[in-house]
Amino acid sequence: MARPSKADVQKPALIALIERGASVDEACAALQVGRRTFYTWEGADEEFRHGVARAREAFAGRADQEVQAALTRSLVQYLVEGETVERETTTTREGPDGKPVEVTKKSVERRPCPKWVFDKLMPDSVAGALHQHLHLHERDE
């Protein structure tokens, strides 16, 4: 049986790297394949071209799902926890020696999510139950 050519080994590896999110430059550098060689293979080898296209679509689909999941987590966190507002105020006071001294005070405040946000973003049944749960939880603290 004939030994596989270097290209037969590198092409699937390039596709795998692209599917994991590597750019063409990154994948080529990792496998020491010239960019020109990559694009020559992509133009001449239909199977390689389709493999690269599928890899890009697969990565884009996963990336889109990950972004959607992150946005959902952020929204749920906001709905449940509200937002944190950090403030910093600086005042000038007279120091012990009579000279002005700047005093900086930092404060952190937790603001609950407004009810209208629940009403806009959540179905009535979920928004009502979640809002009621949060108010009951606030009373317990």
Residue 23 sits in the same domain as residue 67: yes
**Nearest partner of 113 among 134, 129, 133, 137, judged by Cα:** 134
Q: Give the whole-angstrom CA distance, residue 141 versus residue 126.
A: 23
What DSSP character marks residue 98? S
Read off the pLDDT of residues 70-128 as tens digits, 9 standing for 90 and up: 887 787 777 777 788 888 999 998 888 889 999 899 988 888 777 777 667 665 555 55
Provide the domain limits for residue 122.
Answer: 107-141
**SS3 state at 34:** coil
Burial of 122 (0-12, 13-18, 19+ CB in 10 A): middle
**pLDDT value, residue 139:** 44
**pLDDT value, residue 109:** 86
Given a cut of 90, is residue 37 above it in pLDDT? yes
Residue 64 sits in the same domain as residue 10: yes
Residue 66 sits in the same domain as residue 12: yes
Q: Which residues contact 104 (CB under 8 A, 6 or more apart)?
A: 88, 89, 90
> Is residue 34 one of the residues assigned to a domain?
yes
Residue 63 sits in the same domain as residue 120: no
Read off the pLDDT of residues 51-70 as tens digits, 9 standing for 90 and up: 999 999 999 988 888 888 88
Work out the pLDDT band at 50, boundaries 50, 70, 90. Answer: very high
The last residue of one of the domains, among 74, 95, 118, is 74
**pLDDT value, residue 84:** 83
The encoded tokens of residue 24 equal 């063409």
> Is residue 85 one of the residues assigned to a domain?
no
Work out the pLDDT band at 18, boundaries 50, 70, 90. Answer: very high
Q: Is the pTM higher than 0.85? A: no
The encoded tokens of residue 49 equal 């071209």
**pLDDT value, residue 30:** 95
- Average pLDDT over all residues of the chain: 83
Describe the crossing of helices 24-31 and 6-19 by its angle, rounded to 10 degrees.
140
| Number of domains, the chain | 2
Alpha helices (H) in the chain, listed in sequence order: 6-19, 24-31, 35-44, 46-81, 115-121, 124-140
Q: Give yes or no for a contact between 134 and 140, defined as CB atoms under 8 angstroms apart.
A: no
Report phi then psi at 39, rounded to 5. -70, -30
